[in-house]
Structures are given as C-alpha cells and as structure tokens.
Chains A and B, each alone.
Chain A
Amino acid sequence: MRERKHQFWHDVVKNRTLLLMLAPAVLLFFLFSYIPMSGIVIAFKRFDYVGGVFGSPWAGLDNFKFFFESGDAWRVTRNTVLYNLGFIVLSNLIPMLTAILLFEVGGKWFRKITQSLLFLPYFISWVVVGSIAYSFFAFDVGTINGILKWVGMEPIDIYNTPSYWPVILLLVHTWKSLGYGTVMYLAAITSIDREMYEAADMDGANVFQRIRSVTIPNLYPTVIILVLLAIGNIFQGDFGMFYNMVGNNGLLFSSTDVIDTFVFRLLMGSNEIGMSAAAGVYQSVLGFITILLANYAVRRYDKERALF
C-alpha cells in the first residue's frame, strides 16, 4: 500500500509539467460542466423563488409529463434526430469533398480566398439568415417567386408548404457550416504524410486513385471523431436555426418542429423552469445513451479509433 502511494507521488512529480498543462482544462471542465450538472435537480422540482434551486418542493416526474402528454413527443423527437442525421452526413461529406478539391486544385491564393469566402456565412447570425430567407421565400415579394413569375411559371407558396422545408433547412445548414468543416478537413489533409503521396506517384496512381487510396483512408480518424462528437448532440435541435427560419408558423410544424423549438413554445408563456430543465434532461440522457452505443459500435469495428 505504501509502495503504491509512493509510486503515485513519484508519478506526479515526474509528470508535473504535463499535469500543470492539463490543470486549466480540468478546472474549466469541472466548473462549467460538472458543477452545473447538480442543477438537474430542478427537473424534479416545482421551482419557486422562495426555495431556490435546492429548497423548492419535489415534484417527482411531474415536470416530464407535459412533454409526453402533448402527443407530439414522438414527432418532435423523430424530427430532431432525422434533421441531425442529415446535418451530420452533409456537414461532413460536403466539407470533406470541398477540402479535397481545394487541396488538389492547389494555388495558394485561390485556396485562401475560397476558404475565406466559404467561411463567411458561419459568422452570420441566424436572425439575419432568417430575414434573408424571408426575402427569398415570401409569396408575394420573394426573390424566388419573382424569378418564377418572370419566366412565366406559377408562384410557389413556400411558407405554407411543409414538404419544402426539410430540403431548405438542410441546404441552409450546409451553406452555413461548409466553411468551418472545410478548414477542419483541410487541416487534416495537410497533416497526411507527404511520403505516401510520393509513393503513390511512383506507383503511377492518377489523381482519383490517389484521393481514393491515400487521402480518404487517412481522413477516417477525423471523420470518426467528428461524427461521434456530433452524435452525442443528436437529440439537441439547433434552436437558433429552426426558430429564426420557421418562427411560429403553425402550418410548418409537422415537418420542422424539433424538441427545442417545441419546448420553447410550450413553456414561453408559463416560465416553468422545472419543465424546461426536464426537457433538457430528456435530451441529454438520450444523447448520452446514443453516444455510448455509437462508441461501442466503433470499438467493435476498430478499437484504435473509438473515443473511449
């Protein structure tokens, strides 16, 4: 026992520099991720100011009821997951392709400028994007209908037709996140060992063969990390996006309502903190389970590449 304790201190002293570097991250994580977690108790309480977070009376599972009693729980959960799956696929695939193309096309200036231009939408707030979208899609004054009328076609009623919206939202999301993803994948491509490309050239591989056999396999670890991280959030709808694009347009809810907008709408009027916390807990627990399963699947396939 003493031996082991001695060994522990020995390790600490030996790795002091590394541990010191680790300290800020651990501290921040503890402060901002672990301590706030105790707030989960709010989900099981009927919150009032007199009692505060810990003194309010217990409410059991009452706070979860509104969500499941609404009859919409399944629909909004399904929408959230499907949209997120779409986002994960598109926002990995397309940036990856863009990064590969940019890398192959070369030309330092061209690459830099394209990269910056692609990155721009990332900085535009969803509120602004919502307004831009409105001037595109509005029935009477929108650009799209303006063009349709000009070429002699019937105008389309975008804001009253739910079926257009999954496509629109996927496109807008991809447009907005493209730059960020591209930079990430470009960084990953740049770090691929040059010698592999040289070897491929020696073997007479053409561009496509080189991409297929060298670049893409080397990007697997990055893809897996990104996908695993994204899967953890698969039950969290991007509120800023959905709310600003759709707002309170009831006609579109069937295809655009996600957990976050749904909960926001239901609880805006009542300020029931306990219920919003309950919704958050529901999302987090499901997200946690999903990420465990996904990680397990990756481990089965390839131990090296799993997150943990």
Chain B
Amino acid sequence: MSQRSKRKLGITLTSVLATALVLSACGGNNAGNNTGGNTPAANNTASNSANTGSEGQSGVDTSQEVKLKMVLLGAKPADYDQVFGEMNKILKEKINATIEAEFLAWSDWGQKYPLKFAANEDFDIIYTSNWAQYSDQATKGGFLELTDDLLSKYAPQTWAAMPKVKWDQARIEGKVYMIPSNKANEFTDKLVLIRDDLREKYGLEPVNSPETYAAYLKAVAKNEKAMTPYGLESAETTNHNLDKLLLIQKNNWKEFSGLPFSVKTTDEKAQVFNMYETPEFDQLLTYYKDLADNGGWSRNALTTKGSTTDDFKVGKVASMTHNVTALGGVLADAQKAHPDWKLALVDLSPESNKSAAISTQNGMAVHATSKNAERALMALDLFQNDKQLHDLAMYGVAGVNFTPEGDDKFTKTDKYGNYNSFSNWAWTSTLDRVDSNYPQVAQDVEKLWAGKVYNYKLESFVFDKTKVVNEVANVGNVMMRYLVPLEYGLIKDLDKGKADLIKQMKAAGSDKIQAELQAQIDAFLAQQK
C-alpha cells in the first residue's frame, strides 16, 4: 500500500468514526424528542359492536376465537406461563378468548405508557389509575368510553356488583373510561413504621405524634451510627415525603398531586390556598430543619439511590412511610426475618379524618382502537367475578403460589413472589382473599380507620390541566428546585429560602393555576348540587 493511499485510509477511518459518533448522539436525542408516531384516527366510542351471528350464552357472538393483548405495570412474573396458561384455559372455555400480557417495568413505565397510545400500538386492555395517567389519557382519547349499555351488556356481573358511587368516581367529564377495582376500603393515608425495640432501648415515650416521632428519629441518629433514621419513600417528588402525613393528613387537607395547592376537606366553599404560604408550613419547616440538623435523614436525601424497603428489612433504616397495606407487608416480612425486632405502625395524626381511596386508585381500561372491545369487557368481567379466574389472577396457581384457606383466606408460599410482581391489584373485588399472615396491627388500623372515613364532595374531583400546562410544569420545577432542598433542611436560612420559593412560584405562574383550579372546583361543586 502506498503512503498516499494509506493516508487516505486514515482520514476515511477518522471520518467514519466521527460520523458514527454523531449518529449515535442523534439517536439518543431523537428518542427524547420525536415521540409521536403515525397515529391513525382513533375512535372514541365503540365502533365495532358485535356482529349478530350465532349467539353465545350471554347473547354475544363469541364464535370467533380472539387473542386479547393486555398491558400491565410491573415485572413480568417468573411463573407467567403457568398462571396465564391456567387463566387462558378458563377464558377459552367461557368466552373463547385468550390473553397475552405485556409488562411495563416499574423503572420506566412512566415513559413507555404514553408511547403505547401515541404510537397507537395494538393492544386491547391496559392498566390505569389516577396515579397512572387515567385522566391524561382519557382526555387525549386513548381509552374507549364505557357507556352504561356497553357495561351492562358485556360486563353484567361487574355492572351488578359495583356500587354506583365507584362508577361516578371514575367519571371524567361525565364519562367512564375504566372498570375500577371493586375493593371495599383501601386507604391512601400514610403511616410510619418504626422499630419499637429501639424506642424502648432508649427509654422514649411511645411514638404517637410528630414530636414523639422526632424524638425517636433523633435518638436513633445519635445512638445508631450505622443506621439512617428516616428512609425516603422516593427521592423523585416535588415535596418532602412526610408532607403528606404532617401537613396534609394532619390538617385534614386535600392535596392535588404535584401542585402546591390544597383545600380544607371540611370547607363547604372549597377555598383553594397555597400550602406553602400557611403558618402550618412555617411550623413544619422548623420541625424539618431541627430533624435535618440532628441527622434525621441522610445528607444525600436528594440523590439517594437505594431501596428504603430493602434497607428497612435488613436494619439499615429505622423508619419509613407508606400506606397501611404496603407497610403491613413490610412489617410481616421484617418480623419473619428478625423475630427479635419489635415493630410498630404509627398514625402520626390519629385525630384526623381518614380518606378511603376513590375507585380510580386501580382499574383496567379498554384501548380506544381495540378491535375486540366486547370480548375485552367480558374478560374483565370474569377477572373480577369468576372465583376460579379471580383466584388465579390475584394469587397465582393454588398450591404453587399460594395456599387457599377456606373461601376468603390464603397464605403465601415461597413462590408467591413468582407471580405477584405486577399490578394485579387492578381487578381486586369482593372475591378477594385475606392473607392470614397480614399482621393484626395493620388489620386493626384498617378497622379503626373504617369508622373514621370521611366522604366529601370534592373527593373525586380531577383537575384538568389543559389550560395551564405551562404553569403546572414550571411550578413543579420550582418545587423541585426550591421546596425540596428547603424541606430536607439543606438550606441554612429558612426565611430566605421560603421567600425565594414563594417568589419563584409566583413567577412560574402559580396564581394562574390557583384561579383555574378554583374555577374548576366551583363548577364541579355547582354541578353536584
């Protein structure tokens, strides 16, 4: 090879490498920017009602076998083939359909979920919830509207079993888009789980209020060097994890997730106010600062990369927050692994009203462009109301993943986790079994709270952000940037930090959101009268 051509080769190689670099960079960016695919016109109402032909038992033609595609959240269960195989046998026999499920992992479902709709992928049934973009996708036309006719014809058992109020809670601008799970009482209120043995060790008073809780956290920080007193539920929020307990629940407020606003649940007129401009917040801020300065939580709170649940179970974290169901589970697991621990579930505001989850907490929706909408509804009907199928779908194969006890109880086997790894709470119903190992303390809490459930008109109100998307996005960003560090005690001067926060929120348009929110609430209440 001559010198000249060798040199050419060198330059070519360089260019190729450089181009590759540029191309790979482009690839990365495009993923973020060009999220819209070609979407054929989606249809909002059931366009493909059943052909009248040979009629099945419920008066619906099921002569043609269909495969229903279902999208769920969570990890694909290890025993997927076995359990779904069994389920499909039943479905095949009863409605001549089989189900194929796809799972969106917990780590990135938030990004993938909207893409399923944007790209108009071929699927029939999808998990949804008020925390999983229910109102977002419904207003964008992603779900099939479930009219009374459709439901009573294709999901008759559910139609009969579901209390009317649950359908009403699922309405978006008067229309239903999901079959909500039909569970009696599910509480969204949060509690703290603590190591009562540590509390006794340091001779502290029983934890039952924010003050006693702070004393407990500080004692742990002082004496247990290897432990983090309070473990964060999630670092990816726009406020402190304890706000829900110490600000909202304590004062009987209603929150609007991601927004700085609140309404007193007892306020007939439902006056909207900014939580972070109240004296209650000022007090809480000093409380937080004191905890932070005394090592109540990690200095890396904002960047934490561990799992608090796991850390609690191995004794690295001395307290965590969550709802009663989740903490009950953690408590049972931790107690099993460490019989010498004494664990306690504590309600930090026992005097407050309790709020039960509204029906949109969990549910299943039908894709707007599903070709088998009727069959999808029929399948969902069976998921909630066919005992055999419900057991499979909730707990897995009897004798393998769980052991049934009578008709309404069960115990987990070692292989319980091989099936229960995803959002199968979507079809909880009156047929649910109770885990006989579910700790008594958690059951006691639920029993106690059941008597304190407070229903109010605004309960099922959903804020439609369409008119103020810009402001909502910007205020959320301000909260992340100014509120979160302030609450975790990372800003020295509280007054200045708070003044900055309020100023930035105003600049980001919080007043406009507040006005819009108030207007929508007023309209909602007027409609209810």
Chain A residues in contact with chain B, CB under 8 A? 33, 36, 39, 42, 47-53, 55, 65-66, 69-72, 130-131, 134, 138-140, 157, 159-160, 180, 183-184, 187-188, 190-195, 221-222, 225-226, 229, 232-233, 236, 238-240, 246-251, 253, 260, 262-273, 275-277, 279-280, 283
Contact = CB atoms under 8 A, between A and B. Distances in A.
Contacts of B313: none
A48 B140 contact: yes
Contacts of B21: 180, 229
Contacts of B473: 66, 70, 266-267, 269-270, 272, 275
B431 interface: no
A160 B490 contact: yes
B57 interface: no
Interface string B16-47: 01100110011011101111111111101000
A248 B300 contact: no
Contact of A225 (B18, B41, B118, B142): B18
Counting contact residues on chain B (CB < 8 A from A), the size range is 35 or more
A49 B3 contact: no
Contacts of B26: 33
B419 to A, nearest CB: 28
A184 B490 contact: no
Contact of B470 (A69, A159, A191, A194): A69
Given A140-B300, A250-B302, A269-B473, A184 B36 contact: no
Contacts of A190: 6, 10
Interface in B464-507: 465, 469-474, 476-477, 480-485, 490, 504, 507
A1 B340 CA distance: 97
B302 A248 contact: yes
A-side interface mostly: helix
A279 B38 CA distance: 20
B126 interface: no
Given A69-B509, A271-B114, A52 B38 contact: yes
B126 to A, nearest CB: 13
Nearest to A191: B10
Contacts of A194: 3
A276 B299 contact: no
Interface of B: 3, 6-11, 13-15, 17-18, 21-22, 25-26, 28-30, 32-42, 44, 110-111, 114, 117-118, 120, 133, 136, 140-142, 235-236, 258, 298-300, 302-303, 305, 368, 465, 469-474, 476-477, 480-485, 490, 504, 507-509
B118 A49 contact: yes
A273 B481 contact: no
B220 to A, nearest CB: 14
Closest 10 CB pairs of A and B: A191-B10, A280-B33, A52-B39, A66-B470, A139-B299, A266-B473, A249-B302, A250-B481, A271-B114, A191-B7
Contacts of A51: 39, 41
Contact of B508 (A71, A188, A232, A260): A71
Contacts of A221: 11
Given A50-B42, A157-B299, A266-B476, 7 more contacts: A52-B41, A134-B303, A187-B14, A239-B28, A239-B32, A249-B303, A251-B485
B235 to A, nearest CB: 6
Contacts of B477: 70, 72, 262, 265-266
